[in-house]
Amino acid sequence: MGGPMQKGIVEYSISPYRQSPMKHALRNYLFNGYRRLAAQAPYWVVPFGVAYGVIKWADADNHFRNTKAGHAQGKFP
């Protein structure tokens, strides 16, 4: 207002990177998350696939062993 220059006045502002930390978080997860999960997939898909196959085989073998045909072949428990 036409007065003398003032000293010691400091203005602070927030960085634009800190104003919206969750901006595009979901979109970025869709792409980066897919890439990261795809990189880790062999470490958990293969063991689950093997375990599923073993369980299916054991279930079918158990049913066969408990039938008349299984007993006739001498494959009883």
Each residue's pLDDT tens digit, 20-77: 777 888 888 888 989 999 999 999 999 999 999 999 999 999 999 999 998 898 877 6
| Number of folded domains that form the chain | 1
Give pLDDT, residue 77: 64
Question: What is residue 75's DSSP assignment?
Answer: -
Does 31 fall in a domain?
yes
Does 9 fall in a domain?
no
- Domain extent, residue 32, equals 16-72
Closest CA to 65 of 54, 77, 57, 48: 77
Name the pLDDT band for 1 (thresholds 50, 70, 90). Answer: low
Give pLDDT, residue 25: 84
Does 1 fall in a domain?
no
Residue 69 contacts residue 57 (beta carbons within 8 Å): no
Name the pLDDT band for 4 (thresholds 50, 70, 90). Answer: confident
pLDDT per residue over 24-35, tens digit each?
888 888 889 899
